[in-house]
Amino acid sequence: MNDPRDWNNHSRWEAAVSLAERMVARGDFRAVAFQAYEGEFSPCVRLGTQRDGQPLDGNSLFLVASLTKPVVALTVLDLVQDGTLSLNERICDLLPEWNTNEKRRITVRHLLSHTSGLPDQLPNNQELRARGASLEEFYQHILSTPLDFAPGSRVQYQSMGFVVLGELVRRLTGENLGTAVRKRIFEPLGMTDSYLGLADHPEAESILARVTSVELDAEQAATAGNWNSAYWQSLGAPWGGMLSTPVDMLTFCASHFAGVPRKSRFLPYAVLTEATVNQLPFLEDMNPRDRSCRPWGLGWRLNWVGHRETFGDFLSEETVGHWGATGALMWLDPRWERACVLCCSRPTSESRIPLIRLSNAIQSAMESDD
């Protein structure tokens, strides 16, 4: 097997791997895995250990949290491209229970671009998770939750909008979201180590045994329904329940590039391109500050260069990506057809700065010609 330090003999790639080793050694996170793409895939670097002290290996999975959202979004866009629905359709015309007050104005585009007015999490989120609530229960609570603002007037990260999208997919296809994602994304791309929901999976127990545990503090670990619970990892939450690997997620990212052979793409290039385009200029009532400073595509977020949640300090303004709260980051730069996925064991609230630094070093390695 090739040494993961030696990607086309780039000294900067070796420096990036060495940086990651130092991060693990000094305790920035117990484990980290990452891979990059620039015309070809780098080796996947895996460093550190599982909770039981066993080293990460090619069998290790990560709960990638909100990296789930672009995957769910592309599943919805697959339904758009085959004529099942359209982006400016009102949700209430597809899900009649939404035909009430301001909620009747919410469109598919609003849900995909975080402009619906729905909250990120429900007020009783922890209670629902503690008693092992189903996705249907989450959906019913969202129906009775008031909007925070008129649809299309502001940007607010809204995980609950993706629960609505999951229900939309279920109603339109007759399949649960996990099945639809598998058929429309995972299987066409060969993402054989990715799962969204394990309730009916015959190998659920062995799959769960492969998941890299998140480094929870004592208070979080004592909370029922936490990230390391079998309930959460099996639920298939549309906003953050996917299990995957850097290799599979990078395959997903690279499929968006024009230079990738058509047979390697799972959707027409026009659809993939639209997903990465800033949607806010199309919304006439959008708040000017959000329009200029907080751009969102369809499921993808554009790089907020001056924000603490940037994906990297030297990425082009066309770069799109997503953070995952469990310690995950992915980005793709359509201008240069480069992409990167990083997964670590420590929540992003504690590992964001190390991950941004590592992202910078990996991008620099892609710039190098030595």
- Say how many C-beta atoms besides its own lie within 10 A of residue 222's C-beta: 9
Catalytic residue among 42, 60, 66, 113: 66
Known active-site residue 66: yes
Which residue type occupies 112?
L
Residues in the chain, total: 370
Burial class of residue 54 in the structure, from the number of CB atoms within 10 Å of its CB (0-12 exposed, 13-18 middle, 19+ buried):
exposed
Q: What are phi and psi of 155, to 5 degrees?
A: -110, 130
Strand pairing partners for 243? 63, 195
Cα separation, 148 vs 156, whole angstroms: 9
Q: For the beta carbon of residue 312, count every other beta carbon within 10 angstroms.
A: 24
Angstrom CA distances, 313 to 96, 256, 276, 310, 354, stand at 44, 22, 19, 7, 13
Between CA 184 and CA 191 the distance in angstroms is 11
Spell out the alpha helix ranges (H) of the chain. Answer: 11-25, 68-81, 108-112, 125-130, 135-143, 159-173, 177-181, 187-189, 204-208, 218-221, 230-235, 246-254, 269-275, 288-293, 348-367
Q: What is the DSSP letter of 262?
A: G
User: Buried b / exposed e across 330-369, counting CB within 10 Å, b at 16+?
Assistant: bbbbbebbbbbbbbbbbbbeebbebbbbbbbbbbbbbeee
Q: Which active-site residues does the annotation give?
A: 66
